[in-house]
Amino acid sequence: MTNLVGKKAPSFTLPNEKGERISLSDFAGKKVILYFYPKDMTPGCTTEACDFRDAHADFSDLNAVVVGVSPDPAARHTKFIDKYELPFSLLADEDHEVAEAYGVWQLKKNFGKEYMGIVRSTFLIDEHGTVVNEWRSVRVKDHIAEVLTTLREGAE
């Protein structure tokens, strides 16, 4: 697994929930919290998305945008956003190219089955497109508070 800290973040262009093509370069001049999660509407992913939602104003105050990425199609993202009133975009990485570029598309094991999927991970990208922190194999509990603390420390 590649450590991306200190490196240029892999660039991407993916459709969001509205079908608009969103690129990492669209956020130049802002910090980006890019988080990868396995699937819309599942318990852990819903908790994580709602935690990011609840801290949205704090992230905005720190010149940061939150962007979620999963292999779900845009239409499913729309339902997820509408149901939980998420104030940020979710990008559809259906062919998992971006997940692979960030090293989060990996072999997973669940109930004795092996399959390829997204390992829950978050990347903090600075205003110049450099990865300044990464959290891999994230546990949802307290994760958003950790990301906020790291952002605040960087802002001092």
**Which are the catalytic amino acids?**
45
Sign of CA dihedral 129, 135, 139, 145: negative
3 state SS of 52: helix
Question: From the CA atom positions of the chain, what is the Rg in Å?
Answer: 14
> What backbone torsions phi and psi does residue 46 show, to the nearest 5 degrees?
-65, -45
Q: Which amino acid is at 122?
A: T
Listed in sequence order, the residues at least 6 apart from 62 whose beta carbon sits closer than 8 Å to its beta carbon are 31, 148, 151, 152, 155
Beta strands in 80-130 (DSSP E): 89-92, 105-110, 113-118, 121-125
